[in-house]
Structure 1
Amino acid sequence: MHSPYYVYSPAQNIALWVQQWVCGRLPLDEAIDALAELGGPHRLEDGSEIAYVLREFRAHCTPSSRYPWLSLVLPGPGQALLAHLDAPAALVLRHDPAGSATLAIPNNHRGATQWEFSDSEVPMHLQSFLMPGDADTQLRLAIDRAANAIAAHGMALDGVQQPRLRVGTLRDFYETPGLPPEIPERAAKLIARADYASAILETVLSGIGEHRFDPELLSIGNAIRDARMAAVAYCAIELGREYA
């Protein structure tokens, strides 16, 4: 079992930086610098550069406190993003909750990120998000269950005496280039826990190298995925409240 895209995706932080820019809380150059750290040069399919990508985002969503107007969707085991779409992540952009959505699909190509924007019907299972408290509780429980199952088997992490050092190294990767300024505290804490859980999961997978614990690890992976989507949705709503 190893599904890195729903354990971590740069689309999470891209969504958070774009939300801030759409709401006028970031200058253009700061948004461009952050996105470059998250995916290299960003372009549209016709080759237009980052400023035009950001304009597309602004054109396809309207900040609101009533619904997540710019949200993140991550596929999980048994849940493809869309039947016709082979992508590890997407951002869902809306002008209103009842109308059609625009999917912004990032595709990495030779160190650059190419964006595709298209109108699409989004399945219901990709429109529902947990509240941060519920997502945090789900993640805590998944980590505890996995830790207890692994400990019961007396497994070691590849002979590593201090696995926390490896976890810390991986967290440095997940946290680059950091979150936007003034992100809501509940979302920041939830993302920090998801990063920690992701690092633990990667450490266990690389240390054990077998499939005995797939059910427990799958549970953590799904909880991480839900937590990341919940954090981005919550940020959109809170920003929409201030924007209005």
Structure 2
Amino acid sequence: MQRRVLDQVWTPTQHIALWLGAWLTGNEGYDHTTDALKSLGGPSSTPGSLVLADAVVPDAVDVDKPLGLSEMMRLLKAATEGGDWAEDPRALVRLVLGGPGDAPLLTAGTEAATATAAAGGAIVVADAEPGFHHVLVKEDDSWLWFTLEGHLPEPAYLSPGEADLQLADAAREAAATIAALPKGHSPAASGRTDPRLMVGLLDDHLDMAFVPDAVPRRALGVLARADRVSSILAIAQGSESGVGGSAFDPQLIPLWKKIRQARMSAVEYAVRDWTR
């Protein structure tokens, strides 16, 4: 499975957000969470894997020394401790995704927004102090920590039912777009990789990406459908076969946006369920 195909379909940042949300709400233990984060590409135990790029953090660790996963966990726990997350209108943990024509929902012009746009996604953790948010962004082998002050743009939150309907619409639109391609320009006409086989291979890989046991079934259903629709779009775009590609990218951009909205909503639904 080529990495570039998988990267279009799914980002480990989604699962890392779920694990952090489960741990911060007491639904997962520390050891299980850190093992999951390491396997998903979160900050490693190696000093220096966490960088306080533009951060205001609690006095919980020695920030003058190189930081790693354990320090990140202590900082997150200290930053969120004491918050009334059942009453706070902010979600304790949010997934923020961006893509072509879809800027990430962060304060425009900030380093955090720029880094998130470049990475394609970030994790936002609300501080117990109103008006502050911490943004974690993966950059190469490191994770960058930013702190934003003030109100953040509101996400277009969808209920699981709304997200599921939106994904069903995206799947139908994708099928119609592919069917409308001129003869000889569909992925199936490449004579190389059967797109149905490629979708199946992607599904098999995504099935191995585990999530916390406490994730609500409705959120899991949305994420599973998002994976499936993403697989179809990625293969249809010719990421593997080299067919199609940019010839119909503009038509698929709105569909990728719907998928990102569904993923963000599913993560928020899970976190809010844990903080009720």
Scaled to the shorter chain, the TM-score interval is 0.7 to 0.9
Q: Among 43, 61, 64, which residue is 2:85 paired with?
A: 64
Higher relative contact order (CA 8 A, sep 6+): 1
- State the match for 1:8 in structure 2: 10
Q: Among 139, 142, 157, which residue is 2:170 paired with?
A: 142
The Cα shift of 1:209 comes to 3.5
Change (3 A) 1:63 1:31: farther
Aligned residues: 236
CA radius of gyration, larger in: 2
**Take 1:164 and 1:182, find their aligned partners in 2: how far apart are those partners?**
32
* 157-166 vs 202-211, greater mean Cα deviation: 157-166
Alignment root-mean-square deviation, CA: 2.7
The Cα shift of 1:161 comes to 6.9
The Cα shift of 1:4 comes to 8.2
- State the match for 1:31 in structure 2: 33
Provide the secondary structure at the position in 1 that maps to 2:247: coil
Alpha carbons 2:187, 2:195 under 8 Å: kept: no
Change (3 A) 1:41 1:161: closer
- State the match for 1:114 in structure 2: 143
Change (3 A) 1:237 1:105: same
**Take 1:159 and 1:65, find their aligned partners in 2: how far apart are those partners?**
54
- State the match for 2:61 in structure 1: none
* 225-234 vs 73-82, greater mean Cα deviation: 73-82
- For residues 88-137 of structure 1, what are the alpha-carbon distances to aligned partners after superposition, in whole Å with 9 as ceiling and x for unaligned? 222222256x931313222233xx3323141334542x534222211111
Q: Among 89, 98, 109, which residue is 1:83 paired with?
A: 109
* 184-193 vs 156-165, greater mean Cα deviation: 156-165
Report the TM-score, using the length of structure 1 for normalisation: 0.84
For structure 1, the residue ranges without an aligned partner over 5 or more in a row are none
For structure 2, the residue ranges without an aligned partner over 5 or more in a row are 52-64
Alpha carbons 2:17, 2:95 under 8 Å: kept: yes
- State the match for 1:201 in structure 2: 233
The Cα shift of 1:166 comes to 0.7
Percent identity among equivalent residues?
Answer: 33
